[in-house]
């Protein structure tokens, strides 16, 4: 794991580093007492970010990191427990309360290990006559077009002749949402929810249709509540 801790509480940083070194072999760690633009130039597996940095701008920093590096997980840390509700509004992986550090850290480790099992999940498509295996976590969204589907990943797109219904049946329903009869969204890649559309990474916008926003919000809030605390 390649991780960074951004916190001006040096005693807590020392404690967290000790725990991480005991949990993960060959971990590489950077530490900062404040946020700087150099952090945006490095892709980390995990970012531990104090929510109190620079009058609460940490959530903006976390969102910017998520846009740049979708697979980086953001773990907010704070001595102020109520900030968990603000982290709930974005694609946060976990929230560690300093007042419950031992408990929250152990739950973070369990969730991180569970995530690593999940990222091995694949789905198979026949593309140009060849069976191609794609990791489910790499799929941003899937759309149907006539009698074929288009699979969008951060690197490229794939086209396969099968139904959207069949595709959805093979995907992990904890992370994928069938938005309508034409689109399946990977909820892990939702960046923000606007009045008229859902914003995914790479500035992809999925417009709401009549009546679709309320249903989507119910599903997304359920997904977020599970993702923050127990995945």
Higher per-residue pLDDT: 104 or 52: 104
Residues 6+ apart with CB under 8 A from 124: 131, 132, 133, 134
Residues 6+ apart with CB under 8 A from 208: 196, 197, 198, 216
- pLDDT above 50 for 87: no
- pLDDT above 70 for 107: yes
- pLDDT above 60 for 230: no
pLDDT of residue 84: 46
Query: From CA 1, how far away is CA 79, in angstroms rounded?
Result: 25
Tokens of 13: 């940083």
- pLDDT above 90 for 186: yes
Residues 6+ apart with CB under 8 A from 37: none
Q: Please give the average per-residue pLDDT across 103-107, as a whole number.
A: 92
pLDDT-derived band at 198, boundaries 50, 70, 90: very high
> What digits encode the pLDDT tens for the residues 89-103?
445 678 898 999 999
Higher per-residue pLDDT: 58 or 165: 165
Pairing of strands 94-97, 73-78: parallel
DSSP 45: S
- pLDDT above 90 for 207: yes
Tokens of 224: 């977020």
pLDDT of residue 95: 85
Query: What's the chain's average pLDDT?
Result: 88
Q: What percent of the chain has pLDDT over 70?
A: 90
Least confident of 71-85, 146-160, 196-210: 71-85
Task: Using the CB atoms, write b or e for 161-189: b if 16+ within 10 Å.
Answer: eeebeebeeebeeebbbbbbeeebbbbbb
Q: Please give the average per-residue pLDDT across 86-90, as a whole number.
A: 46
Determine contact, residues 204/140, Cβ cutoff 8 Å. Answer: yes
Instruction: Name the CATH superfamily, with its identifier, for domain 122-229.
Output: LytTr DNA-binding domain (2.40.50.1020)
- pLDDT above 50 for 231: no
HSE, CB side, 13 Å, CA atoms: give it for residue 53.
Answer: 22
Taking Cα atoms as reference points, which of 43, 70, 44 lies closest to residue 188? 70
Task: Using the CB atoms, write b or e for 45-84: b if 16+ within 10 Å.
Answer: bbbbbbbbbeeeebbebbbebbeebbebbbbbbbeeeebb
Q: Which residue in this structure is represented by tokens 């704070």?
A: 78
Q: Which fold has domain 2-118?
A: Rossmann fold (3.40.50)
HSE, CB side, 13 Å, CA atoms: give it for residue 230.
Answer: 2
Higher per-residue pLDDT: 55 or 114: 114
pLDDT of residue 102: 94
> What digits encode the pLDDT tens for the residues 34-79?
999 999 999 999 999 998 877 667 888 988 998 888 889 899 998 7
pLDDT-derived band at 222, boundaries 50, 70, 90: confident
Report pTM: 0.60
- pLDDT above 80 for 228: no
Q: Reduced to 3 states, what is the DSSP secondary structure of residue 120?
A: coil
- pLDDT above 60 for 88: no
Q: Angle at the Cα of 187 (from 194 to 104), degrees rounded to 5?
A: 105
Q: Indicate where the chain has its CATH 3.40.50.2300 domain(s).
A: 2-118
Determine contact, residues 148/182, Cβ cutoff 8 Å. Answer: no
Determine contact, residues 63/39, Cβ cutoff 8 Å. Answer: no
Q: Indicate where the chain has its CATH 2.40.50.1020 domain(s).
A: 122-229
């Amino acid at each position: 794991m390649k991780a960074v801790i951004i916190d001006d509480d040096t005693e807590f940083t020392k404690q967290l580093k000790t725990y991480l070194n005991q949990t993960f072999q060959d971990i590489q760690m950077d530490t900062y007492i404040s946020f700087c633009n150099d952090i945006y130039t490095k892709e980390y597996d995990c970012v531990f970010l104090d929510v109190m940095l620079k009058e609460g701008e940490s959530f903006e920093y976390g969102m910017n990191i998520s846009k740049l590096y979708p697979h980086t997980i953001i773990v907010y840390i704070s001595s102020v427990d109520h900030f968990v509700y603000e982290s709930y509004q974005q694609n946060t992986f976990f929230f560690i309360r300093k007042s419950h550090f031992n408990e929250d850290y152990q739950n973070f480790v369990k969730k991180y290990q569970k995530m690593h099992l999940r990222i091995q999940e694949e789905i198979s498509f026949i593309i140009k006559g060849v069976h191609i295996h794609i990791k489910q976590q790499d799929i941003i969204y899937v759309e149907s077009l006539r009698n074929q589907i288009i699979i969008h990943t951060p690197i490229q797109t794939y086209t396969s002749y099968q139904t959207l219904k069949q595709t959805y049946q093979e995907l992990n329903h904890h992370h994928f949402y069938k938005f309508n009869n034409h689109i399946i969204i990977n909820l892990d890649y939702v960046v923000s929810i606007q009045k008229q559309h859902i914003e995914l990474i790479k500035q992809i916008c999925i417009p709401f249709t009549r009546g679709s926003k309320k249903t989507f919000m119910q599903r997304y809030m359920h997904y977020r509540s599970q993702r923050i605390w127990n995945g």
